[in-house]
Amino acid sequence: MIESAQTCLRDVCKARPVAAAGYIGGVSPQDRYVSRPDQGPIREITVTDLNQATRAHVQQSSYDYEDLLAVGRGEVFGMANAKLPLPPMLMFDRITEISATGGHYGKGMMRAELDVNPDLWFFGCHFKGDPVMPGCLGLDALWQMIGFFLVWSGAKGPGRALGVGELKLFGQVLPNVRKVVYNVDIKRMMRSKLALGIADGWLSADGETIYRARDLRVGASTAMQSGT
């Protein structure tokens, strides 16, 4: 879904793809742990606006790991629309809550979780003898979530990260952490030829908030096809 942290890490880590029989898409949860123009006038819109414009998917309020893999393969929202990255770049195991009207601003929210294990793919290469989850992966997870929220809301076209206003990191995700929780609160959704989501987000490790981000921006548009 998002072109971001792969660029950050491609010269640092090389993840080995793994297939496992018996799981949807040939990927089991354990596999993550293996060396794992003219835009026209823009107006603010609501999730309801997008839903009425176009949406075939029946919205769920939560998604499990197999659901996320199906989204990544384009089986839920369509190959031409925003998708989640597949492992190892998928940065959460489940979406525990997603709402079109909740959140701090009352315009939508989403929460997701990652189960942390010392064998997660990035710990082995970032860094040798000093394992820590790269901060850019935590940021990318928040972008992934906003992209998911856009397509869940009915936006069409591929999704891309467009920026972040401010990011502060107060701590680290180390191998002894048990669970990471991500949260995004939608601030604005706008549309012309581009559906744009703007949100604030945070990341917590075992209940302690260690990342805060303001004005995260993700767009979705049919003009964002690869190579165009």
Q: Which of 55, 94, 126, 214 is catalytic?
A: 126
Q: What is the pLDDT of residue 117?
A: 95
pLDDT digits (tens, 9 = 90+) for 149-167: 999 999 999 999 999 999 9
Average pLDDT over residues 99-105: 95
Question: Taking a C-beta distance cutoff of 8 angstroms, is the pair 92, 56 a contact?
Answer: no
Reported pTM:
0.78
Both tokens of 193, joined, read 């030829």
3-class secondary structure per residue, 78-132: CCCCCCCCCCCCCCCCEEEEEECCCCCCCCCEEEEEEECCCCCHHHHCCCCCCCC
What one-character DSSP code corresponds to residue 149?
H
pLDDT digits (tens, 9 = 90+) for 166-192: 999 999 999 999 999 999 999 999 988
pLDDT digits (tens, 9 = 90+) for 114-159: 999 999 999 999 999 999 999 999 999 999 999 999 999 999 999 9
Average pLDDT over residues 207-214: 98
Question: Taking a C-beta distance cutoff of 8 angstroms, is the pair 220, 191 a contact?
Answer: no
- Per-residue pLDDT at 70 exceeds 90: yes
Which fold does the domain 5-224 belong to in CATH?
Answer: Thiol Ester Dehydrase; Chain A (3.10.129)
Q: Which residues pair with 180 in a beta bridge?
A: 114, 205
Q: What is the pLDDT of residue 223?
A: 86
Q: Which of 151, 154, 188, 156 is nearest to 52 (CA)?
A: 154
Question: Taking a C-beta distance cutoff of 8 angstroms, is the pair 5, 137 a contact?
Answer: yes
Length of the chain: 228
Verify whether residue 126 is a known catalytic residue. Answer: yes
* Domain range summary for the chain, segments of one domain joined by +: 5-224
Q: Which of 53, 64, 164, 149 is nearest to 108 (CA)?
A: 149
H helices of the chain, in order, are: 5-9, 47-53, 65-72, 135-152
